[in-house]
Structure 1
């Protein structure tokens, strides 16, 4: 979804904005804001710094009472018509800002709509020209989804890979359609395990930055891969990850599935 801001909401890649849906809650009070990761670069999808884009999944499910429940903000946004107005706040967030080093290795781990901040990164790296920034490093994206129809921005990413094969690597993990050699479902950590030693070597470099965005459970699966690899080098992974976080090389934005 692309929103016109008339340039009044400047932001950086990796930040979020708040959306306040119309109407009131069950107590008759205005709805509280919901945060969404920005899916566009600072220049926006039209390159004029006057828009902001979001990646929104409509939340609808049946609860234990058999009642149909709709997420307030996601349905509000998905039901909007072109030209409608929306209340936006922000931007906020500094944890997911991309590194300034144009020669860095940037490993991006996403599930579902957690792809949003990485689309913003990749647009700046590969779809835009900047006088003060030219990406010369390696960007490696792992995207985990349940079905191939959930591979958001797939064509964009494949175009980037085709155009910049030396600077962009792309790996999908489609859990309901793909399996590994053992017949196990292909989750994001399963796909990463295929490159485990290579990823560990990259993580030992001081210009490698890891970004993780998506459902909360994904971090544990990735920890499980790294524990044994680090141990083989006599390194305690949990302590090493703590140091990576301290040096801003390990950046995580994960969430539970709230009714939003």
Structure 2
């Protein structure tokens, strides 16, 4: 449990904050028990300003979640009426085992304020029962020498079909063969890494950014590889591939060329953001989209383990050099950089460093925030923005909820 010494700690400039936390477990050791351990309900405790980051990390380690925070000097807010039902589905790009778990079905369950009035969003042009059969045109490594794992950029030929898409959508890939039960493998969804015009700007290709999944079997300790990711990462140019989709409306870009776009990515979560940036800045894209000339600000905060794992590094840094007034690039390199407490630098630490600026940007109605990558970054980013909001006497949780209603907070994690 949280130490009682927190309440008596000396505050910085007399600033104390009230944390509202749910889900704390008794101790890390209880995770190993083979029977259920009851987690805590909702609790409140005081935290001095200078210990906010440490306590947020400790809460995360104990399995808790910060649902709100406010200055001690402010009265507690009146809780809103409890609704009879609440949609708690979180969009995911993980492997769908059933229809209820696919990104497609989750996307339809969310209110898509951003896309209201749009009728030209392509969805499910090709289904698993009748996929489009494309061809691998190229399969290029993205991890440089000395990096961790295998990540590939794949480009598929779409000629001969009607598969078209928008930036921020996903396609499904059906790997060949059968599972252990003799049934055909189910499709896996991948975020598209190219603009609607494709890498060749001819409307005839689609590109993906795929990492080969690799993990240790918990019982046999054998190395296990993901079925579809391994298939794609080792696919030979010229090979046929079964493609479904496209799906998804959650991650679409606003049409406003003056918008401010905050992008937070880990690893292959860079895929949709590569599509955004190419649409915004590539000369060929500008020629194909004369009505869309991006004049706003795009800010990418990118979390990776090592420098060789910076996917699309050369292209990203070329854009930053060419468009310094419109594109900002911030890395969080966990195994090379240190956070303010001397630990590894993860994306949530970078967000915490810039939280005040990000919070200010989110006050502007033209700002959209996008998050794509590992689900584990969500709580840390929420905690960092909670601190920034609390400094201004606001609560992040209800503000974030309002951003979602406005169609300005977009999340696709797995």
After TM superposition, the score normalised by the length of structure 1 is 0.96
Q: Which has the larger radius of gyration?
A: 2
Cα root mean square deviation, aligned: 0.9
Is residue 413 of structure 2 the alignment partner of residue 254 of structure 1? yes
Question: Paired residue for 1:190, among 323, 328, 349?
Answer: 349
* Matches of 1:182 and 1:231, distance apart in 2: 21
Large movers: runs of 4+ above 2 Å: none
What is the aligned partner in structure 2 of residue 70 from structure 1?
225
Aligned-pair CA distance for 1:206 = 0.7
Aligned-pair CA distance for 1:184 = 2.3
What is the aligned partner in structure 1 of residue 129 from structure 2?
none
SS state of the match for residue 31, structure 1?
coil
What is the aligned partner in structure 2 of residue 140 from structure 1?
299
Is residue 250 of structure 2 the alignment partner of residue 95 of structure 1? yes
8 Å contact kept, 2:175–2:231: yes
Gapped regions of structure 2 (runs ≥ 5) = 1-153
8 Å contact kept, 1:8–1:50: no
What is the aligned partner in structure 2 of residue 104 from structure 1?
259
* Matches of 1:71 and 1:226, distance apart in 2: 34
What is the aligned partner in structure 1 of residue 155 from structure 2?
2
SS state of the match for residue 11, structure 1?
coil
8 Å contact kept, 2:167–2:252: yes
After TM superposition, the score normalised by the length of structure 2 is 0.61
* Matches of 2:279 and 2:185, distance apart in 1: 34
Question: Paired residue for 2:403, among 240, 244, 254?
Answer: 244
1:48-63 equivalences under 5 Å are 48-63=202-217
SS state of the match for residue 2, structure 1?
strand
Is residue 169 of structure 2 the alignment partner of residue 15 of structure 1? yes
- Listed one character per residue, the Cα deviations across residues 213-233 of structure 1 (whole Å, up to 9, x for unaligned) are 001111100011111211222
SS state of the match for residue 412, structure 2?
strand
* Matches of 1:79 and 1:153, distance apart in 2: 19
- Listed one character per residue, the Cα deviations across residues 232-257 of structure 1 (whole Å, up to 9, x for unaligned) are 222111000000000011000001xx
What is the aligned partner in structure 2 of residue 258 from structure 1?
none
